[in-house]
Chain A
Amino acid sequence: MTREEAKQLLSQLADGELDELSTRRLLAQIDGQPELREVWARWHAVRQGARDGRPQRVDLTIADGVRAALEQGGSRASQRSLQVMLARFRPFAVAATVACLGVLIGQQWPAPEESLALAAGSAVPTVRSMPVMPIASSTTNQLLPASYGDRSSATLPKPVAVEGLYHELARQRLEAYSATHAARGALHTPATFMTGALAADDNRGER
């Protein structure tokens, strides 16, 4: 869409004569043609001037500020929703990891014939690096310690402390609640007891 075509559609939008599909097409052009915002501002300044003889100032400071704040808020909101989604799927992720480990261990477990051969003391090739579960050796009658390849089980990573995560979750919830509360507050008049208190102060002053 050329700049001229976009401005023609903008003119129709200003007059409430643009259909929904064309409105969408026009809005999609605004990011690529930022001067359309300035044109829109000037047209409305002229309109105001035509109607009441006092044209508006053409200044996009407030609009720029609002846009930046909403874009920033949008990215923060998407980050938060990602965190919530991750938290929701964390138990499934742990379960899936455990299941995968189980499958891997199961695949590397000696087959029944191999176990029989091992029990018979034959020269069946074994791989030291394979993780093995503690099993009773029929030849030595001793328990073999579990190992992860060459690493001993004693060097396994410690469980992650979840207490901190709960604190973070609680903090985020409190933050979200405060934001919602503040937003709803704007839709209502200030608390009457506060304005009442101010009025009482004024009365005292007059007396």
Chain B
Amino acid sequence: MVAGVATDEESDRALVQRAQAGDLRAFDLLVIKYQNRLLSVISKFIKDSDEAQDVAQEAFIKAFKALDSFRGESAFYTWLYRIATNTAKNHLVARSRRAPSLDWDIDDAVLYDESDRLHEVDTPEANLAREELKLAIDAAVNDLPDELRTAFYLREFDGLSYEDIAAIMDCPIGTVRSRIFRGRETIDLNVAAQLSGESALQRDKE
């Protein structure tokens, strides 16, 4: 079992159920969660970034319309991935361009690290921004108090459930919940500051 996949599926299941009941806000959270991963998959077919964004948007809309047909037999992302690749291929066929063949199986979609290929189309500036963001995250995690860092680490790096973390840290589940939240909040402050610095830099350039 890959770390974090099980709890990701639990989170997706709750949101998919609400989205199937017609709640657009639930689907919106799923879109925010997966938009970058889906965009990187589509970028393998479509090199133009604006066009790839349009196709990603189209894939999400098709997914929402077909949401009733999702029975939860596979992971939500695997199902979404299939729709995205088909939308991209159909887009190329409609534009009379040949779709490139992929050298890996669709069932490995959840485990596959698409970000390697995303780097192929990224600009040096985008790579630098990502690197700086990573440094900011690492620094924020290292600065956390021990208890928060351990809880956060077990959750985000090892993908353990609250119950397992409570057993390891020998504390109530409510404490685990609170520690993970406070860890996230502290890290998010650093990330938000880093991102606002980037956007200020971007504005200065423009």
Partner of A65, one of B26, B57, B155, B188: B57
Q: Min CB distance, B206 to chain A, in Å?
A: 16
Q: Min CB distance, A201 to chain B, in Å?
A: 8
Q: Is the CB of B4 within 8 A of A51?
A: yes
Q: Is the CB of B137 within 8 A of A42?
A: no
**A23-B14, A51-B4, A190-B99 known; A62+B61 contact, CB < 8 A:** no
Q: Is the CB of A62 within 8 A of B39?
A: yes
- Which one, A7-15, A86-94, A106-114, A170-178, is touching chain B? A7-15
Partner of B192, one of A42, A52, A65, A194: A42
A126 within 8 A of B: no
Q: Is the CB of A47 within 8 A of B133?
A: no
The A/B interface has a contact count, at CB < 8 Å, of 179
Q: Is the CB of B195 within 8 A of A42?
A: yes
A49 within 8 A of B: yes
Interface size in chain B (residues, C-beta < 8 A) = 72
A74 within 8 A of B: yes
Interface size in chain A (residues, C-beta < 8 A) = 63
A69 within 8 A of B: yes
Q: Is the CB of B113 within 8 A of A52?
A: yes
B175 within 8 A of A: no
**A14-B11, A17-B177 known; A63+B184 contact, CB < 8 A:** no
Q: Is the CB of A31 within 8 A of B35?
A: no
Which parts of B149-199 form the interface with A (CB within 8 Å)? 155-157, 161-162, 177, 180-181, 184-185, 187-188, 191-192, 195
**A51-B156, A53-B134 known; A70+B62 contact, CB < 8 A:** no
Partner of B89, one of A42, A45, A67, A189: A189
Bound state CA distance, A45 and B190, in angstroms? 13
B93 within 8 A of A: yes
**A31-B25, A52-B113, A186-B86 known; A46+B8 contact, CB < 8 A:** no
List the 7 shortest-distance A-B pairs measured between CB atoms, nearest first: A16-B10, A16-B11, A186-B62, A16-B7, A56-B36, A190-B93, A11-B181
16 contacting pairs across A/B (C-beta < 8 A): A15-B162, A16-B7, A17-B161, A23-B26, A42-B191, A45-B191, A46-B156, A46-B191, A49-B137, A52-B115, A56-B36, A57-B130, A66-B60, A186-B62, A187-B69, A194-B93
- Given contacts A15-B161, A30-B25, could you give 13 more A-B pairs where the C-beta distance is less than 8 Å? A8-B177, A15-B7, A17-B161, A23-B26, A44-B32, A46-B137, A47-B156, A57-B126, A65-B57, A66-B31, A66-B60, A183-B65, A189-B86
